[in-house]
Copies of this chain bind each other. A is one copy, B any other.
Amino acid sequence: MNARINATSSFVEWMQHIQSTMEVTLDIYLPSITAMPASLHQAMRYTALDGGKRVRPLLVYAAGELFDAPEQLLARSAAAVEMIHVYSLVHDDMPCMDDDALRRGKPTVHIRYDEPTALLVGDALQAQAFVVLSDLADEQQAARQLKMLNLLAQAAGSAGMCGGQAIDLASVGMTLSLAELEQMHRLKTGALLRAAILLGAYSGKLLSVDEAAALEMYSDAIGLAFQVVDDILDATADSATLGKTAGKDAADNKPTYVSILGLAESQALAEKLRGDGHRALEQFGDKARRLHELADLIVQRKA
């Protein structure tokens, strides 16, 4: 991260800087279309490049600022987390899952290409995430990098994102309690957001117990807030604004915060969680500036 840009820039400037850095980083770390098999590589690039808010990379870089993490590890972490996120979207959109035709304002991979390609694009992106994060950054820090990789793999697997997906699938048409809904989202989206934050922090150093606990609290708060706001937007925004099909949850009869709590109480919950996120960061002082700003962004976003 360019320190000058960071010290003097507004949040929007910082965010745009990270987002454009991510495009370059992903372009480098995704397989080239001049390599075999070109069609698979083209499809991987179609879905991973030029789209998305890059919320997870933003969290990686913001958490990296807490401990002045080196760019090398931040770039690998941000690219790896984003590739896991993108692969999960490709598989979620497939006909046997959510059967969605639109994502980030573009046709989904199985629509633009075909189903087998979508399956392989997802599989290959997951592998590529681990290719990137296992690319040795600093011989002296290899054990820490291995720990970061372990953290990401746990967050991606059955104890994290895939596990949350499985619970989500099993819950269609069922009445979930608020606690059950929370547990599902803690895995489905929360685990990877948490991994993004921890990977950013670990890019700087191993964490003390206090530091880890604070970042867990922040992650829990903004992870849930992210989902509550997703549910609010799904119920209130239109497809053009979201870049994906709006109103899907209600149509699919999926339990959401809005269906359980109602709209006003969901909005109040998002605000409460935003406050929890801010409070969790107290010990980090000014170094946590971007994490504070991201908590606000996550709750106040319109898409």
Contacts and interface: CB of A to CB of B under 8 A. Distances in A.
B131 A157 contact: yes
A213 interface: no
Interface in A168-205: 169-170, 183, 187
A258 to B, nearest CB: 24
B116 A167 contact: no
Given A122-B123, A147-B136, A158 B115 contact: no
B94 A119 contact: yes
A43 B97 CA distance: 17
A212 interface: no
20 contacts: A31-B157, A36-B183, A36-B187, A37-B158, A40-B166, A91-B119, A96-B116, A97-B116, A120-B158, A123-B123, A124-B157, A124-B158, A124-B163, A127-B160, A130-B130, A130-B150, A131-B157, A136-B143, A146-B146, A149-B149
Interface in A115-135: 115-117, 119-120, 122-124, 126-128, 130-131, 134-135
A119 B143 contact: no
B31 A162 contact: no
A209 interface: no
Interface string A260-285: 00000000000000000000000000
Interface in A98-156: 115-117, 119-120, 122-124, 126-128, 130-131, 134-136, 139, 142-143, 145-147, 149-150, 153-154, 156
